[in-house]
Structure 1
Amino acid sequence: MQYSAKVLTILMINGALLAGTGCSSLIDKHVEYETIQPDTYPVLRAVGYAPLSAQPGETQGQKQLLAIKVSKLEAYRELAEQLYGQNLTSSMTVKGAIAQNDGLKAQVKGLVRGAKVIKTYAVGDTYATELELDMKQVYDLYIAQAKPKKIKKIHYSLK
């Protein structure tokens, strides 16, 4: 049985590759990582509002405290919208080429860490809360937990 030079060359290359992979357990690999840092960090701001007179409570003080809490939660919701966006669901029922029912549902879901209350104040019958979220602080909190890395250098050595 005779083989052409081309076929013999291919068989020799395949044999060398197989032999080389069989020895891979003789080589140790050490990978060095470095963290990746963004160039800029934006500062996000949000304002939440709550009507004072619409709050449940027996006294003006109770209504005021609830309005402050609600306005703070609304500001956090606005920050979450800026960070994660809104999940919108829409539905419409049509019967005989006439719209019967039309609905829209919005949902925000996310974790906001590191936000600071800048101001809480009354504007007439409404309470407002201003929040600020420095993305540099969010990045630092994230790095402390996740420690994302990229490959910096790989060292190979024989066992």
Structure 2
Amino acid sequence: MRAWIALVAVLLAGCANDRHVEYETLAPDTFPVLTATGIAPLSSQLGSNDEEKMRRAMRAAKLDAYRELAEQVYGQHIQGQSNVNEMVLRDDSFRAQVDGVIRGARVVRAYPVGDSYVTEMELDFATVWALYQQQPRQRIKKVTYY
């Protein structure tokens, strides 16, 4: 029995090689471009004059476009709840939440339409990939055993 354990220990010790792994960065084959549109009402914005209402609507429309981009990249978290009492639906509610970081998006167009302000944005994943080169996607290029 001891001889068997010694043989296994020797064989396993021979498998413990030191090695050096070298990686290379790979770019994806294609980069998608996502688009989003944000809309905000002008007249219902808080403000003492039309210029301030316009500025607030511009900001709200841009944030709405960012929210839509985050939905496309990360998805939405949906929570739902229904309450039934005596086989009668008493309450039915749901909540949606978006959480994420969008980097590299750019405003394509921003313009007023009637009583609304519209902002069109795009997110080119070639730009996102370039921004994240500090944390590249990698594959094993070469392994050197010592």
The alpha-carbon deviation at position 22 of structure 1 amounts to 3.4
Tell me, in whole angstroms, the C-alpha distance in 1 between the residues paired with 2:132 and 2:82. Answer: 41
The alpha-carbon deviation at position 20 of structure 1 amounts to 4.2
Q: Any idea what the Cα deviations from partners look like across 1:45-81, whole Å, max 9, x if unmatched?
A: 0000000000000000000000000000000000000
Q: Counterpart of 2:69 in structure 1: which amino acid? A: L
Runs of 5+ unmatched residues, structure 2: none
The alpha-carbon deviation at position 148 of structure 1 amounts to 3.0
Name 2:92's counterpart in structure 1: 102
Greater helix percent: which structure?
1
The alpha-carbon deviation at position 23 of structure 1 amounts to 5.5
Query: How do 1:132-151 and structure 2 match up within 5 A?
Result: 132-144=122-134, 146-151=135-140
The alpha-carbon deviation at position 147 of structure 1 amounts to 2.6
Identity %: 44
1:39 aligned onto 2:22: no
Q: Counterpart of 1:109 in structure 2: which amino acid? A: D
1:73 aligned onto 2:63: yes
Q: Counterpart of 2:89 in structure 1: which amino acid? A: A
> Aligned match of 1:51 in 27, 38, 41?
41
Tell me, in whole angstroms, the C-alpha distance in 1 between the residues paired with 2:14 and 2:38. Answer: 64
Q: Any idea what the Cα deviations from partners look like across 1:22-55, whole Å, max 9, x if unmatched?
A: 3567x54111111232111010000000000000
TM-score, normalised to structure 1, is 0.83
Tell me, in whole angstroms, the C-alpha distance in 2 between the residues paired with 1:96 and 1:22. Answer: 69
RMSD, aligned α-carbons: 2.1
What secondary structure does 1:143 align onto? coil
Query: How do 1:115-126 and structure 2 match up within 5 A?
Result: 115-126=105-116
Count of paired positions: 145
- Deviant stretches of 4+, over 4 Å: none
Tell me, in whole angstroms, the C-alpha distance in 2 between the residues paired with 1:36 and 1:99. Answer: 54
Tell me, in whole angstroms, the C-alpha distance in 1 between the residues paired with 2:14 and 2:32. Answer: 51
Tell me, in whole angstroms, the C-alpha distance in 2 between the residues paired with 1:45 and 1:129. Answer: 11
1:22 aligned onto 2:16: no
